[in-house]
Amino acid sequence: MKALLLGLLKGAAIGAGVGYGAYALELGPGWNWLVYGVVGFLVGFLVGRPLWALLTDKGATSVAGILKAVVGFGVAVGLWALVAKAWGGFELALAGQTRWVQDWQPVLGAAIGGLWGALIELDDASDDKPAAARRPAR
């Protein structure tokens, strides 16, 4: 439960930060797929066991960290497409402006980042068990 909450918070912070950067740069709706893809990539790269921890561990492979980042890009773009294209989203009024929720990059970025971060952290938490506990009894 602690890992799930930690991943949710880390992912939401990364997603909100990237989303706010896109909002501050005034990137329009045409850039949303790339913004949310970068959110998924960075969350996959930084949450759980980050790539630099995998590189220093002789027993681990760096392919897992790279795969989390690449798959995160696809998952985040897919979640954006579900919200924007399949569901259609809803209008959200913030800061005196009304936009579709998918066009508020800090909001949807935090939601997508939080969801992906929670899944990654939960998955990596199951890998942290000692090797002796994972071996079957003889």
DSSP secondary structure letters along the chain: -HHHHHHHHHHHHHHHHHHHHHHHTT--GGGHHHHHHHHHHHHHHHSSS-HHHHHH-TTS-THHHHHHHHHHHHHHHHHHHIIIIII---EEEETTEEEEGGG-HHHHHHHHHHHHHHHHHHHHHHHTS-HHHHSPP-
pLDDT given for residue 10 in this prediction: 96
Strand partners, 92: 99
* Mean pLDDT estimate for the chain: 87
Residue 59 banded pLDDT, cuts 50, 70, 90: confident
91-94 and 97-100: which strand pairing?
Answer: antiparallel
Q: What is the pTM of this model?
A: 0.83
Rounded CA gap, 68 and 48, in Å? 9
Whole-angstrom distance, CA of residue 109 vs CA of residue 103: 10
Q: Give residue 41's pLDDT.
A: 97
Q: CB-based contacts of 93: which residues, under 8 Å, 6+ apart?
A: none
Average pLDDT over residues 103-120: 94
Report the pLDDT value the prediction gives residue 87, as an integer from 0 to 100. Answer: 86
> Average pLDDT of 55-64?
78
What is the residue whose two structure tokens read 């579709």? 100
Query: Distance between CA atoms of 62 and 65, rounded to whole angstroms?
Result: 5
Residue 53's pLDDT is 76
Instruction: Say if residue 85's pLDDT is above 80.
Output: yes
